[in-house]
Structure formats: C-alpha cells, structure tokens
Structure 1
Amino acid sequence: MSAHGILGALFHDAEEPRASDLEVAWYSAHLPRMDGPVLDVMAGSGRLLVPLLEAGLRIHGVDLSEAMLATCRKRLEASGVETELFRQNVTALNLPFRYAAAFVAGGSFQLLSDSTAALDALLRIRAHLIEPGVLLLDLFVPGGAEHPPGAAVVEVRTVEGCRIGLRSETVFDVDLRRIDVTSRYERRDRHTITAREDETLALTWYTEDEALTLLADAGYRDIRIEPAARPRDDGRHFAVTARA
C-alpha cells in the first residue's frame, strides 16, 4: 500500500480540510462514547478525527503517511485538542491500546487493493477491539468502473497561499477489480513550479455481498450494510457496521 508524500498531503488537506457536518454526525451517532477509546484507521490529515474529538469522542489516529500525520498534528494544535497518533501499516497494526470501536472513513480501506492485505488489516483491527467492539467501514463501487474517465486536472490553494495542481490518470480493470491512479502534483509559487511529486495508487472495490463475506471471514459478527456516511454521486456508496 502506498502512502501520500508531502505534496499529496498538502493537496488533499487543501481540497477537503474538514469532514462535512453530515459525515461527522453519522460517525458521532454510530460510535460509542462510554465504552472506551475509538481508533481512526488510516486517519490521514485528521479531517474527520479533529471534528470528532471536538464533539467529545475519545479517538486515536493511525496512518502510514508521515506527511499526512504531520498535517494532522498541525490541525490538532490549531484546534486545541490532543490525542495519540501512530505511524503504522494497518496490515501489521500493533498498538499499545485496545478500542471499543474502529473506523476506516472515506473509502480509504479500498487502498488495500490486494484481498490478502484487506483480510490481514481486518484481522489486525479486530485484534485491537474490545469485544463486542464496533467496526465501521465506508466503501464504494465506482461509477467509472465500466466507463473509465479521462485525465483530470485540479488545482487548489493552500492556507499559505501557494497553488498545488493535480493531474491524474485513472485506469479501471473490471476483471481484476482494480483501479490504478497515476498522479502528478505540482506546487507553484507565483508563476514558478517549485516542487513536483509523482504518486501511484492502487484501489479495489467490494460489492455489498463481498464486503459481508470479507468481514465474516475475518471473524466479525452482526455485520450490516447501512447508508453511506457521506453520500456522493460518483458511484454506489455504502457503509458497513460490524462487531468483533
């Protein structure tokens, strides 16, 4: 599984610095408050972690990208809230805490494009849950799976005032159930390109039935399909809840 670099972290932080009120409300309603801390798996820049902490939940965060965690630390400091952050790969998760619940938001679970890695991650998350711990996954089946989109160019402006552009090429392989995204980030200060970063990510997707089977194979129970935490129009989005 690849991790975002510095420019990738800056771009995604500027593109979506904070989760929507709807998404925050969904997780606030589904996560336990009294049974122990919660783990935000693949927490990224803290776009969801920070508002949930502000809402009074006890949450720790873990992510593979040091650049994303650095952004998260800055956001925590700016918001005046504190928590534990860890840099680890979810497929080899080994934290000094156990949790009443865990969640993977925003389709990030699908960055585990290999089914073996996905199962390993579910097993490691389950090992960190206090029974009957809750697991929440936010998943999607992409709308472009059968009609691949062309290259896209997006530009955002960071809080420091620089511009970061993203050009990405997306290739869908429906038979292999795989999405390969090749991206180039460019930072511009005034009219000069001052940094460039290339990134390659692979994603997969699961139907509702496949998600149910995957979690059952990892030993979870009371598995349910629910409406998505953040509905969008770029595919079929849904959430999964389960207990350890």
Structure 2
Amino acid sequence: MYKSYGELSTAVYEKTKPIGSSINGDIPYYISRLQHITSPILEPASGTGRMLFPLIDAGFTVVGVDTSKEMLDLCKAYATKNGYDPTLIQDDVTTVQLHQKFGAIVLPTGSFSLLTSREQAKKALINFYHHLEAGGKLIIDIISPGPIEDDPTVSHIHLTKETGIRITSTLLSNNWIEQTFTKEIVYEKWTNGEKTDTELQTLEIRWYGVEEFRSFLSEVGFMDIVVSSDYIYQQPAHRDATTITFEAKK
C-alpha cells in the first residue's frame, strides 16, 4: 500500500530540491569541511545526487548508496546526460558491504533521521565506522523537530503546464517517549484536470538530543566529536536551530 520515495515522491523531491541545490547552505558547508580529504567519500542515502554531483565537481571521488530505485534511476540519468560516471549502489545503509575504506562519510539534511529505531541507527553507525579509514571523518546532520503540525497540510507542485502533483500531509502519530513522529503523505498526479496516478507514503522521523547523539557516537567508537548548528562550524546548538551537524573521527 505504502511506498517510500516512489515515482511521484521522487518527482516532487527533484522539483523542490533539484540536483545541485543547497538547502540552507549545506553544500558549501560540507565542501569546506571536506577540503583535506583525498580518499573517496561515501554518501549513504545519496538519493537523486543533489549533493553528490557538487561534491564531484569540487574534485572529490564519491560513491553513492540509496535504497530507492526511483531516486537512483534519476541520479543515473542525470549522470549519463551530463558526462558523470559515479559509482551508485542500491542497498540498505545498515547492511551494505563495499569492501573498501573511505576518507569521509557524509549524511546531509537529516537523512539519518529516517532510521527510526535506535537499533537500526546503531547498526548504521557501526557500518559507517567499519567503512572509514583510520582517522576518517563522519559528517552527519540530525533534525531538530521544532513545532509539529497536527492539521493536514496541502501543497501543489507544477511539473508542466498541463501536469502537477497535489501533496497532502497528515500527522498520524507523535510519540515523545520514542522520539518519533509519523506522517502519511498522499501524492496525486493530475493531468489536464484528471487524476492520473496516486502514491501513498508514510514518513517516520526520529530525533535525538544533542548530548544523546554525542554519547551514541562515542558508544560506537567515534572520537573528536564536534557539534555545529545551521551550517556554521562550532556554533552551539540552540532551541531555534533547524539542523544540528556532528563531525567525528574514527
């Protein structure tokens, strides 16, 4: 019934977050924090390649991993059209085994928060640790939940003059004890006034306290942990921050 990042949600993602677009300054921030890295970089949850291609343009070798075939298909089509040849792998970030080590692993814009159980999250962090070189760097964003809207929200994305997608997002649950909230998102594609396709998605997000996540990284074995907010290096996390970024080394 439900599908994560299918054809319609991928089309909306590409329209609202096109390849190469920076979200609140994340791309220049990540590039600046990776300047000393000479080994390949791994981007789990690389999606359409929004950040992957700017990293390649900045001179890095990047391997992308994602579970969504639709996201990777769009990424591959962009690569072919524009003369890129990145390594792209469809796999689960908690279990993928690439048999190589990386100088850095990057997870921008809260992708890690889609791992909604602590067990999944720990398994992923252990896997990232395994894939890093000695002294390699992990840079990872977590989402600050902020206000969570109870009422459904409706938005529209125009793909062409004749075609658009109507997105209805409804909060299903908000669990403060488990630190998760779940939304149901309905994508309806309309062409010349007729509904031609529908896609249902559940989106579950997990959030962490700053000290909780710092301890989580230490528990896995990461060291030299630095916390920043809103893509300003070492700016302390604060109540109005939308993104908290952790850097840590193996």
TM-score by length of 1: 0.91
Identity across the alignment (%)? 26
Partner of 1:28: 31
Q: Match for residue 185 of structure 1?
A: 187
1:55 deviates by: 2.0
- Out of 71, 74, 78, the residue aligned to residue 68 of structure 1 is 71
Deviation at 1:158? 2.9
> Matched residue of 1:81: which SS?
coil
Matched with 2:60 is: 57
Distance 1:67 1:50, change over 3 A: same
The one-character-per-residue Cα deviations of 1:52-108 (angstroms, maximum 9, x if unpaired) are 212222111101111111111122223322210011111112113321000111101
Deviations 1:127-177 (A, max 9, x none): 1111111000111221125xx342111211236963122111123221221
Match in the other structure for 2:6:
5
Query: Counterparts in 2 of 1:50-199, with a 5 A limit?
Result: 50-145=53-148, 148-158=149-159, 162-170=163-171, 171-199=173-201
**Partners of 1:159 and 1:191 in 2: how far apart?**
13
Matched, 1:203 2:205: yes
Question: In 1, Cα distance between the equivalents of 2:216 and 2:71?
Answer: 28
Instruction: Quote the residue 1:242 is aligned against.
Output: 248
Q: For residues 159 and 226 of structure 1, do their structure 2 counterparts lie closer, same or farther at Cα, with a shift above 3 Å needed? A: farther
The CA deviation string for residues 6-31 of structure 1, in whole angstroms up to 9 with x for no partner, is 11111111111133283221011111
User: d(CA) in 2 for partners of 1:161 and 1:97?
Assistant: 47
Letter in 1 for 2:247: T
The list of structure 1 runs, each at least 4 consecutive aligned residues, that deviate by more than 4 angstroms after superposition, is: none
Offset at residue 33 of structure 1 (A): 5.1
Cα distance change of structure 1 residues 71 and 53 upon mapping to structure 2, 3 Å threshold: same
Q: Which amino acid aligns with 1:237?
A: T
Q: Contact 2:230–2:244 (CA<8 Å) still a contact in 1?
A: yes
Q: What's the CA shift string for 1:150-207, capped at 9, x where partnerless?
A: 2111211236963122111123221221110111111112211111011112110011
CA-CA distance at 1:234 after TM superposition: 7.9
Question: How far has the Cα of 1:32 moved from its partner?
Answer: 4.4
- 2:16 maps to 15
Segments of 5+ residues of structure 1 without an aligned counterpart are: none
Contact persistence 1:50–1:79 (CA under 8 A): no
Matching residue of 2:227: 225
Aligned amino acid, residue 93 of structure 1: V
- Tell me how far apart the structure 2 counterparts of residues 82 and 196 of structure 1 sit (CA, whole Å): 33
TM-score (norm 2): 0.89
CA RMSD of aligned residues (A): 2.2
Q: Which amino acid aligns with 2:128?
A: I
Contact 2:109 2:243 in 1 (8 A): no
Distance 1:214 1:3 in 2: 27
